[in-house]
Chain A
Amino acid sequence: MTLMAASAIGAQDMKSVKTGVYTAEQAERGVALYKQKCASCHAPNRFTDDLFYTSFAGKPLWEMFDVISDSMPEDDPGGMKPEEYADVIAYLIKLNGFPTGQTELPTSKEALSIILFEKP
């Protein structure tokens, strides 16, 4: 019973990428950055395949942000601004067909830890 109550609170705090967690404008900025910084190595379909879902589906967006902002771009890991990484991830969320919303995808660990990425 206690356990159920605890997980109910946890579930309440989490939201899904299905609920509009980025803006259309942000994803537009993201696609421009993607073309400039990512497309030389990464085809967009790499972010809608099973390998991608194995890594990130069912996990907080913070994990995706952490990996990408830590390791990319390959020739300058961590070389982009936090807002730029968030813009690129907004584009990746859009690639997966999730809806836009009224607020931009944030950059903080706290905020990204309560947004769940899902397999569409």
Chain B
Amino acid sequence: MMRSILFATGTALAITVGATALNGQTPSKTTNSGVYTAAQAERGKKVFEAKCTTCHDTARFTGDPFLDVWDGKPLKDVWDIASGTMPEDNPGSLQPQEYGDVLAYFLHLNAFPAGETELKGEAAAMAAIKIEKKP
């Protein structure tokens, strides 16, 4: 009895610690650090035009309408919504890297600088980048 309680407590603790380590990941870079490539944003533009423009205008993801909502938040927040709910008629159906490319295109639309390394289409990479409106 005691043993199973100890075991359960230990497991719960391990899960809690694990979750904290994940959730507590502090973004180490910002969108001003050059976190995507120009070529990637070009690919993202093509995906956006093929999959998103039926419903979404680029204005919706550019400047204040976009940055006022997301400034200071990890890029993963945008990633979660895009990859979890879009496209509307088939949520989650794009390749992970296609979502990453579309997000790179959004960064390009907002004049964040391109860099040498592509933005990886995965949650952990997105969590490490903070959206930061230029001063």
Residues of A that sit less than 8 Å from B by CB: 40-43, 46, 51, 74-75
Contacts and interface: CB of A to CB of B under 8 A. Distances in A.
Nearest to B60: A74
Contacts of B54: 40-41
A46 B91 CA distance: 10
18 contacts: A40-B54, A40-B55, A41-B54, A41-B55, A41-B88, A42-B88, A43-B88, A43-B89, A46-B88, A46-B89, A51-B84, A51-B85, A51-B91, A74-B55, A74-B56, A74-B57, A74-B60, A75-B57
Contacts of A42: 88
Contacts of A46: 88-89
Contacts of A41: 54-55, 88
Interface residues of B, number: 10
Interface in B70-121: 84-85, 88-89, 91
A32 B55 CA distance: 19
Given A43-B89, A74-B60, 4 more contacts: A41-B55, A46-B89, A51-B85, A74-B57
Contacts of A40: 54-55
A14 to B, nearest CB: 28
A41 B60 CA distance: 15
A116 to B, nearest CB: 23
Contacts of B88: 41-43, 46
B68 to A, nearest CB: 12
Contacts of B84: 51
A75 B56 CA distance: 8
B61 to A, nearest CB: 11
A53 to B, nearest CB: 13
Nearest to B55: A41
A42 B87 CA distance: 10
A74 B54 CA distance: 11
Nearest to A50: B91
B80 to A, nearest CB: 13
A64 to B, nearest CB: 15
A74 B84 CA distance: 18
A101 B72 CA distance: 45
Contacts of B60: 74
B3 to A, nearest CB: 31
Contacts of A43: 88-89
